[in-house]
């Protein structure tokens, strides 16, 4: 989605957010949880074909199940992972399930516990954090173009995503073909032309547009017109940016 900001204002906002997001990125996928989630415990699921799957939860309001079963409809493997409160101040409990569907698509489903469990959310992710503050936090490169970090707030029986000005990418990579970076998302004024195999850092994303830093330190926008599903012969122009899903 194109920014509504004027070009000058857009640059100011980008600088403001980019420094904040780069600072937070060092914490986002370290071995330990970010400091803001101190006190949580983690459950790692080991049956998966998709790498490390992690659930971080508040031990004071959660019960670990970690039980495997076979789904009745499609016969897929499901892990009943934990039950917990989404909001510690609300006694309502929720069950967190994990499965990979029919073709290794990691995801979590959340049910409201009761006589008849009610599904209130299903999310593609490899990590879910449930601190008990009324929000859930998700990350992972699954059914999306890159490892996308998202936050959802529980409102009634629905999860509402907290809108971010941009999604943080933070990928050190290289170009698979020659590309041009532009000064704004209108893609009119060139900032830099990069050849194939140029080292880059993909910083931010908004829709099809990616903010990229060159090895020299120039910053500009690049538009990736197609999704480039994993497994196809033709690769994305940005190595590591591709649709990882069906």
Place of tokens 């995503």: 161
Mean pLDDT of 94-100: 96
Identify the H or E element spanning 172.
strand 167-174
Q: What confidence score (pLDDT) does residue 210 get?
A: 98
Q: What is the pLDDT of residue 14?
A: 61
Helices marked H in the chain — which ranges? 7-28
Question: Does position 8 have pLDDT exceeding 60, yes or no?
Answer: no
Q: What is the pTM of this model?
A: 0.84
Query: Residue 45: beta bridge partners?
Result: 53
Question: Does 216 have pLDDT greater than 70?
Answer: yes
Would you state the pLDDT for residue 99? 93
Using the predicted structure, report yes or no on whether residue 68 has a pLDDT greater than 80. Answer: yes
Residue that the structure tokens 């789904």 belong to: 71
Q: Does domain 1-29+166-246 have CATH number 3.50.50.60?
A: no
β-pairing, 118-124 vs 107-112, is antiparallel
Instruction: Map out the domains of the chain as residue ranges.
Output: 1-29+166-246, 35-161
Q: What percent of the chain has pLDDT over 70?
A: 84
Average pLDDT over residues 191-209: 98
**pLDDT computed for residue 186 by the predictor:** 97
pLDDT mean over 157-182: 97
Instruction: Yes or no: say if 57 and 67 are a contact pair by the CB < 8 Å rule.
Output: no
- Which position has the token pair 């998302």? 185
- Supply the pLDDT for residue 28: 40
Closest CA to 75 of 100, 49, 112, 57: 100
Whether 181 has a pLDDT exceeding 90, the answer reads yes
- Residue 161's pLDDT band, with cuts at 50, 70 and 90, is very high
């Amino acid at each position: 989605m194109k920014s509504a900001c004027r070009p000058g204002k857009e640059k100011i906002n980008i600088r403001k957010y980019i420094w904040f997001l780069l600072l937070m990125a060092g914490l986002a996928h370290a071995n330990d949880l970010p400091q803001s989630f101190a006190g949580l415990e983690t459950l790692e699921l080991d049956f998966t074909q998709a790498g490390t799957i992690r659930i971080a939860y508040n031990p004071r309001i959660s019960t670990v199940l970690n039980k495997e079963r076979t789904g009745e409809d499609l016969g897929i493997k499901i892990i009943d992972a934990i039950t917990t409160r989404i909001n510690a101040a609300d006694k309502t409990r929720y069950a967190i399930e994990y499965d990979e569907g029919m073709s290794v698509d990691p995801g979590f489903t959340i049910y409201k516990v009761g006589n008849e469990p009610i599904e209130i959310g299903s999310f593609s992710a490899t990590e879910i954090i449930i601190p008990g503050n009324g929000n859930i936090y998700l990350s992972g490169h699954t059914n999306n173009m890159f490892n996308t970090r998202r936050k959802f707030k529980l409102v009634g029986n629905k999860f509402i995503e907290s809108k971010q000005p941009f999604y943080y990418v933070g990928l050190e990579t290289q170009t698979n073909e020659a590309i041009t970076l532009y000064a704004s998302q209108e893609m009119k004024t060139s900032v830099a032309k990069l050849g194939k195999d140029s080292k880059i850092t993909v910083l931010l994303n908004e829709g099809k547009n990616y903010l990229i830093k060159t090895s020299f330190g120039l910053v500009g926008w690049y538009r990736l017109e197609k999704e480039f599903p994993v497994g196809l012969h033709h690769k994305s122009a940005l190595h590591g940016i591709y649709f990882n899903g069906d």
